[in-house]
Structure 1
Amino acid sequence: MALGLVMALGAAVFFGCAMVLQALGASRHPPASEEAGGGLLGTARAMLNIPYICGLGLDLLGFIAQLIALRSLPLYVVQAALAAALAVTAVAGAFVLRLRLGRAEWAGVGAVCVGLAVLGVTAGAEGHRQPSFAFHWGLLVAVALLAAIGGAVWRLHEPARALVMGALCGLGFAVVGLAVRVLPAVGWPHIGPLFTEPASYALLAGGAVAFVFMTEAVRGGKVTTATAAMVLTETAPPALLGVLLLGDRTRPGMVPLAVLGFVVAIAGALALARFGEVSGDAAEASPEGI
C-alpha cells in the first residue's frame, strides 16, 4: 500500500506539472468555436507545440504511476490524489509562471494536503470484488456515449460549453480509472487476455476522449467552470462505484474520517479550479522560448 500511495502522489505531481505546460500551449489558440479551422483540426493545432508535447510526456509518466496506484489502492484514494494535481499546478504556476496565489488559494493547497493525508491513514486495501463482464462492455459503451455527446455540444456557447466539456473530460478519466481496476492481472509475455478485454479498449479510448475534451475545456475561457466540473466528475462517480461494485473499503471504523478526508481534498481542489488553465498574462510571463 505504501508504494501505491507514493505512486498516487507521484501521478498528481506529474499531472499537475503537465497541466501547466499543456494549458500554456493551448492558451495560444482560440477555442474551436472562434477560429476558422475549428473542430478537431483546431484542437490538433493547440496540441502541436513544444509546451503541450512536453506536458504529454509528463502525462505518460503520471499515467504509469496511476496504473500502479490503482492496482493497490481504493479508487476513492487514487481519484482524490489525481484531483490534487490542481494543487501542484497552483504551486508550480506561482513559482514558475509568476502567478499570484491569495490566502484562499493557499488554504486550498493546504486542504488538499490535509485531505490526502487523512485518506492515506484511513484507506484500506483495494477491493477484490469483480463486477459482471457486462460492466466491462459498459465502460466501452460509456466512452462511445461521451464521444457522441461531445460531438453534439462541440459548438455550444460559454459558459455551457465549458461546463459540459469539463464534465465529459472528468467522466473520461473516470472510465480510465474504472477500466484499470477491472483489467485481468497478467504478466509479460502472457498479455494475450488484454487484447480480448473490452476494458483495455475503454481505457485507451477513454483517455483519448478525455484529453480532447480537456484541451477544448481549457480553450473556452471559463476555466473555473470547466475545471470544477472535471474535478467533480473524475472523482465522485468512480469513488462511489469503487465502494459499491468493487468492494473498496476503509480501515475498520474509519469510514466517517475517510469521507471527511475525501470531501476536504476535493473542496480544496475546487478552490483551485482556476488553475486548470494558464491565463494569457501567465503565458506572457513564462520563461522565454517555451
Structure 2
Amino acid sequence: MVCALGSALCFGAATVFQAAAARAAAPGTGSGVDVGLLWRAVRQWRYAVGLGLGLDGLGFVLEVVALRTLPLYAVGAALAASLAVTAALASRMLAVRLGRAEWGAVAAVCAGLALLALAAGREGHREGPEALPWVLLGIAAGVLLIGAAAGRLPDRPRALVLGLGSGIGFGVVEVAVRLLDGIDLTDPALWALLLGGGAAFLLLTSAFQRGAVTTATAGMVLGETLGPAAAGLLWLGDETREGLGGLALTGFALAVAASLVLARFGEPPVAAPEAGAASEPEPEPGRERAPD
C-alpha cells in the first residue's frame, strides 16, 4: 500500500507538469488522437519534469510492486489519490480554484483509501480466462477509437471522455502487469500493455490542452479503477480480509465517488486560442472602440 500511495503521489505531481506543458504547446488539430500535440508537449520543459526526470517512471515501478502484492481494486483506489494530489498542486501551479466541495472530496479520497488499507487482502494468483490477454489487446486498440470520437465533443465533455479513455488504457496496463510472466514478444498481454499505455498518454495530453485538469484526471481515475477491480475479483482471484468485504466496498465507493465530485466541480481553464487566431484587433485610426 505504501508503494501504491507513492505511485499516486508521483503520478499526481507529473500530471500537473504535463497539463501545464500541454497548455503551453501550440494548439493541435482538436482530435483526441493527436500525435503532433503529444510531440510538441513533450518538448516543453514541464513535460520533461513529468516524464524525463522520472516521476512517471518511478510511479510505474512503484505501481508494478503494488500490483504484485495487492488486489487490483486496492491499487486502483490508491491510484485515485493521484487526483487529490493533482487538485492540490493545480490550485497552486495552474490557478485552478478549488472550493470546500473539492477539498472535502480530497479528504474523502483519503478516508476511502484508509478503509481499503484495513480491508484489502492479498492479490489472487489465478491466470484468468485464456482469451483475457487478447481481450486486453482489443480494448487497448479501442482506446484510440474513443479518442477519435471524443475529439468531436465540446471542450468539457471532451476532457472527461478523453480522460475516461486514457484511464481505460492505464487499466489495461494494470491487468496486463498481473498477467505477464517475463518478457515474451509473442504474448498479447505485453503488446496490450504497450499499446494501452501509449494510447492513454496520447488521449490524456489532448484532454489537458482544452479541458479542466481535474475533470480529465477524474475521468482517468474512473477508467483505471473500475475495470481492473472487476477483472481482479471475477477472474484473477483477488479477495478481501475475512469478514471485511463490506468495509472494502465502502472504501472503494467512497474513493471513486469523491473523484466524481472533483470531476463535477473542477473549474475549466481558459480555452487555448485556435491556430492562426490573433488577439483582439485594435480599432482603426479615427474610430473609437465600442464599449463592452
Same fold (TM over 0.5): yes
Does the CA-based 8 Å contact 2:113-2:252 persist in structure 1? yes
Distance 1:121 1:55, change over 3 A: same
Larger RCO of the pair (alpha carbons < 8 Å, separation 6+)? 1
Q: What secondary structure does 1:76 align onto?
A: helix
| 5+ long unaligned stretches in structure 1 | 187-192, 282-290
Kindly tell me: are residues 75 and 63 of structure 1, through their superposed partners in 2, closer, same or farther at Cα, counting changes over 3 Å?
Answer: same
Question: CA separation of 1:102/1:150 partners in 2, compared to 1, >3 Å: closer, same or farther?
Answer: closer
| Counterpart-to-counterpart distance in 2, 1:194 and 1:118 | 37
Tell me the equivalent position of 1:288. Answer: none
CA RMSD of aligned residues (A): 2.6
State the Cα deviation string for residues 123-157 of structure 1 (Å, max 9, x = none).
00001111133111221122122223423543444
What's the counterpart of residue 197 of structure 2? Answer: 207
Structure 2: gaps of 5 or more residues: 272-292
CA distance in 2, matches of 1:91, 1:156: 28
Q: Counterpart of 2:44?
A: 49
Instruction: Mark the CA change 1:277 to 1:39 in structure 2 (over 3 Å): closer, same or farther.
Output: farther
1:110 is the counterpart of 2:144: no
Query: Residue deviations 1:47-78, cap 9 Å, x none?
Result: 32000111113111101110110000000011
In the other structure, the counterpart of 1:287 is none
Give the equivalent residue in structure 2 for 1:82.
79
| Secondary structure of the corresponding residue to residue 155 of structure 2 | coil
Greater share of helix: 1
Output the TM-score relative to the length of structure 1.
0.83
Residue by residue over 1:81-118, the C-alpha shift from the partner in whole angstroms, topping out at 9 and shown as x without a partner, is 11110111222334556654322222112111111011
Q: 1:18 aligns with which of 3, 7, 14?
A: 14
Structure with bigger gyration radius: 2
Decide whether aligned partners of structure 1 residues 202 and 277 sit closer, same or farther in structure 2, where only a CA change above 3 A counts. farther
Counterpart of 1:183? Answer: 180
1:119 paired residue number: 116
Contact 2:129/2:235 (<8 A) preserved: no
Residue 269 in structure 1 maps to residue 269 in structure 2: no
Supply the distance in 2 between the matched residues of 1:90 and 1:271 (Cα, whole angstroms): 12
Question: Aligned pair in 2 of structure 1 residues 209, 157: CA closer, same or farther (>3 Å)?
Answer: same
Give the corresponding residue for 1:284. none
Which position in structure 1 is the counterpart of 2:209? 219
How many corresponding residue pairs?
268
Alignment equivalent of 1:68, drawn from 60, 65, 69: 65
Name the structure 2 match of 1:140: 137
Do the aligned partners of 1:24 and 1:277 also contact (CA within 8 Å) in 2? no
